[in-house]
Amino acid sequence: MNVIIRADYEEISREAANIISAGLKENPKTVLGLATGGTPKELYRRLVKEYKKGELDFSQATSFNLDEYVGLGSENKQSYRYFMEKHLFSHVNMKTGNIHVPDGLAPDPQLHCMEYERMIAKAGGIDFQLLGIGSDGHIGFNEPGSSLASRTGVVVLARETIRDNSRFFDSEDQVPRMAISMGLGTIMDARKCIMLASGENKAEAVRKCIEGPLCAMTPASVLQMHPDTTVIIDEAAACKLERRDYYLWLEKTRRKLLYN
Ligand code: F6R
């Protein structure tokens, strides 16, 4: 894993936005895997800003979101589809037909999950998969104990995730108990993964993801087996890393080799 440590949330967002925007400029037909939640908001704001300045074009890009709550439709303000419209899709020139978010109201969710996998394959696979990490180590909604080879499916949210996500709802009772999520195997198929984490409440999950043993109890640790993952974290999220200084030194050395 390539670990990038920056001072704060603003800086990790800038770093990630730069990577995605460079990828999109190099390949306008990029297939993006997108995440919701608090973490990628500033990154999306930066991409929108670049688009509005005329520096970024989404017209040929395709996207697949990681997950959606079962039972919430696109009109529901807590749905991930609504989130994506609000923070990215409604501001840029992505073609509606190229946007994919799992349908929380699909009449046959299992069938829908299989169809979602087929659509990803038909698009040629995901080039950049953006990820956040849950305080319990989940990525997508793959909770501790998930199969490391899982595919898109219907999953049950862990109590910790329900508690964490209740901040976006009026009360904890309103947080849906189930979701449709890309599986860990689906995420691992992406050509490049970019995981973002900010804040001390993510520090333990980040430590287990990067330095812990590879195990289903920390679903994000599966990324240790991914050939091209960049983890971009702020100092607060990095505070429990045993080899923090090494990651900083490594990045500095790489930069020197690349630019000197
Ligand atoms: C969201 C997703 C989740 C979040 C994670 C962190 O689409 O798949 O895995 O990335 O729960 O959420 P935040 O960013 O709100 O801390």
Cα-to-centroid distance, 259 and ligand 1 (Å) = 34
Pocket of ligand 1 (CB under 6 A): 35-39, 66-67, 132-134, 138-141
The tens place of each residue's pLDDT in the chain, 260 residues long, gives 999 999 999 999 999 999 999 999 999 999 999 999 999 999 999 999 999 999 999 999 999 999 999 999 999 999 999 999 999 999 999 999 999 999 999 999 999 999 999 999 999 999 999 999 999 999 999 999 999 999 999 999 999 999 999 999 999 999 999 999 999 999 999 999 999 999 999 999 999 999 999 999 999 999 999 999 999 999 999 999 999 999 999 999 988 888 77
pTM: 0.97
Question: Is 160 marked active-site?
Answer: no
CATH of the domain at 128: 3.40.50.1360
Ligand 1 center to residue 256 CA distance, Å?
33
Q: What residue has token string 């305080």?
A: 135
Domain count, the chain: 1
Tokens 């603003």 sit on residue:
10
Give the Å distance between the CA of 258 and the centre of ligand 1: 32
Domain span at residue 26 reads: 2-259
